[in-house]
Amino acid sequence: MNFTLSVSGGLIVAIGGALPGIAIGLIGAKAMEAIGRNPEASGRIVPNMILAMAFAEAIAIYSLIFAFLK
Partner 1 sequence: MASSGPETILAISGLKVTNTLLATLVVDLVIVLLVVVIRRRLSLVPGKLQAAAEGIVGYLHTTTEQVAGARTTMIFPWVAVFFIYIALSNLIGLFPGFGTVGFFRAEGFVPILRVSTSDLNVTLALALVSVVAANALAIRSNGLGGHLKRFFSLSPLLLFVGILELVQEVTKLVTFSFRLYGNISAGEVVLGTMSALAAFVVPIPFLAFEILVGLVQGLVFALLTMAFMTILTEPHHKEEHSR
Residue with Cβ nearer partner 1 (22 or 65): 65
Q: Cα separation of 70 and 35, whole Å?
A: 41
Binding site for partner 1 (CB under 8 A): 43-44, 46-48, 50-51, 53-54, 57-58, 61-62, 64-65, 68
Least separation, in Å, of the C-beta of 54 and partner 1? 5
Residue with Cβ nearer partner 1 (22 or 55): 55
Q: Under a CB-based contact definition with an 8 Å cutoff, are residues 16 and 59 in contact?
A: yes
